[in-house]
Amino acid sequence: MGRELVLNLLTKGAKVAAIDINEKSLQETAVLAGDRNVNLSLFVTDITDKPAVEGLLDKMISKFGAVDGIINNAGIIQPFIKVNDLSYEVIERVMNINFYGTLYLIKTFLPHLLTRPEAHIVDISSMGGFLPVPGQTIYGASKAAVKLLTEGLHSELSGTNVRVTVVFPGGVRTNIMSNSGLADRMSSSTEGAQKILPAEKAAALIIDGMEQNSYRVLVGKDAKMLDLLYRLNPAYAAGLIAKKMGALLSPK
């Protein structure tokens, strides 16, 4: 989805700095951008490395003159197992990438964004950030932290030039499974595939929400439906998801 966000912004004429720990992935994005990559700069960075993230601001200002917005999209899921079976190493990796990586970028760029005539912060949470998903409890906790961090920022920055948007994607066809170091255990049936939103459409919805200064963006019919259901009847919605996740948590 990060790649599609980059390509969407480039199509709109934006100058984009793409950050990824995977240099190969960045280079592939640059190739796909074609002639548009004249406005694209690549930064190979581990977002869990706070000093490395803090060094990005000067590099980007040197390249572009200013930064007017950030989109925090990087994230990984956990293995589909219960908290009791997760190692602290895995738990810390998920939290470091999903929450602290987001926080480091915000803390690094926010002082500069506040000096701009208009600026924007977009943070990608998840449907799992407001609805409990068994087997993804730590992932959900990290995305719930992103949700409240973003909503808190929205309140704190009210009256400033910095707009803030939190995004809740549902099922989106991305590389998050492989990027998380996991084999794909999700259904690959035609019916299941048809229900998953293409990353290109998800990116377009996110950028549209950013341009409209939306407070929150629900990406996909599943996210919209479960957001409503969880607000109406949290216990029922949680039970529904727990039942659907049962097969993934069964011993293989």
Active-site annotation holder among 125, 126, 142, 214: 125
Instruction: Return the pLDDT at 211.
Output: 97
Instruction: Return the pLDDT at 59.
Output: 96
Q: Which position has the higher pLDDT, 226 or 248?
A: 226
Q: What is the 3-state secondary structure (H, E, C) of 34-66?
A: HHHHHHEEEEECCCCCHHHHHCHHHHHHHHHCC
For residue 51, count other CB atoms closer than 10 A to its CB. Answer: 7
206, two tokens: 């996110």
Q: Average pLDDT, stretch 157-182?
A: 78
Given CATH 3.40.50.720, say whether it is the number of domain 68-249.
yes
Instruction: Return the pLDDT at 182.
Output: 52
Q: Please tell me the least confidently modeled range out of 85-89, 123-127, 135-139, 190-194.
A: 190-194
Instruction: Give the confidence band of 244 by pLDDT, cuts at 50, 70, 90.
Output: confident
Judge whether 143 counts as a catalytic residue. Answer: yes
Q: Please tell me the least confidently modeled range out of 125-134, 184-193, 228-237.
A: 184-193
What percentage of the chain carries pLDDT values higher than 90?
Answer: 85
Mean of all residue pLDDT scores within the chain = 91
Judge whether 215 counts as a catalytic residue. Answer: no
Q: Please tell me the least confidently modeled range out of 158-162, 172-176, 246-250.
A: 172-176
Answer yes or no: are the C-beta atoms of 246 and 138 closer than 8 Å: no
Its pTM stands at 0.89
Q: Which position has the higher pLDDT, 194 or 60?
A: 60
Q: Average pLDDT, stretch 114-121?
A: 98
Answer yes or no: are the C-beta atoms of 216 and 167 closer than 8 Å: yes
Instruction: Give the confidence band of 247 by pLDDT, cuts at 50, 70, 90.
Output: low
Please state the φ and ψ torsions of residue 55, each to the nearest 5 degrees.
Answer: -80, -10
Express each pLDDT in 140-153 by its tens digit: 999 999 999 999 99
Burial (CB < 10 A; 0-12, 13-18, 19+), residue 52, is middle
3-state secondary structure of 76: coil
Active-site annotation holder among 143, 147, 214, 230: 143
Active-site annotation holder among 104, 126, 139, 230: 139
Instruction: Give the confidence band of 24 by pLDDT, cuts at 50, 70, 90.
Output: very high
**Residue 176 clears pLDDT 90, i.e. is over it:** no
Instruction: Enumerate the domain spans of the chain.
Output: 68-249
